[in-house]
Structure 1
Amino acid sequence: MGSTSFRLTIETERETHHRIHHLNLGSSVSANGSFTESDIDGATGVLSEFMSVAKVHNCQRIVAVATESFRLAANGHAVATHIAREAGCEVKVLSPDEEN
């Protein structure tokens, strides 16, 4: 879950599936210092959709990670917690070292 887009990758023994949604969350953080309600709704919807896709593919391991915009936003950790609760998966806000 990044500042411009959310990406989903599903790897199976036979193939790899990719999806991307452009949300541009970083612009709100740059302008306001935090995520807006619209950002939160959009992010929650996209991660919920990704979780549905993962379930269809019977994914055994799901890892949702958030990057710099979640670290910088005043409400970033609270938003990550909200998204995790609504979408039904853990969301880890990566440290700068983990992200690189």
Structure 2
Amino acid sequence: MLRVARALIDDPADARAIDAWAALACVSERTLSRRFVEETGFSFRVWRQRAKLMRALEMLAEGQAVTTIALDLGYATASGFIALFRRTFGEPPAAYRADVIDAGRVDP
């Protein structure tokens, strides 16, 4: 599991399907799914989304444009990324940057 988790953190935009990730871990898809929940408390899909969002926070702090972040993280459109970000953090990425990062409460 650690190998898969590290690979996703290193490249959250990696679009491999869960069966390819399971093959990387030398386990079945079902085992990968089960062990992700056991070890992280999240489903593989949710954990993967969280990895993307954590990278998005870093990219926002670096001053990258929201559309660039969305596309770099593998979203087909910025609107899908913005919707997920808003559901997770309670505001869209640009507002988060203005409220938190630009206000100096988070170091870039």
**TM category, shorter:** 0.3 to 0.5
**Normalized per residue, which structure has more helix?**
2
The structure with more radius of gyration: 2
**Normalized per residue, which structure has more strand?**
1
Query: TM-score normalized by structure 1?
Result: 0.36
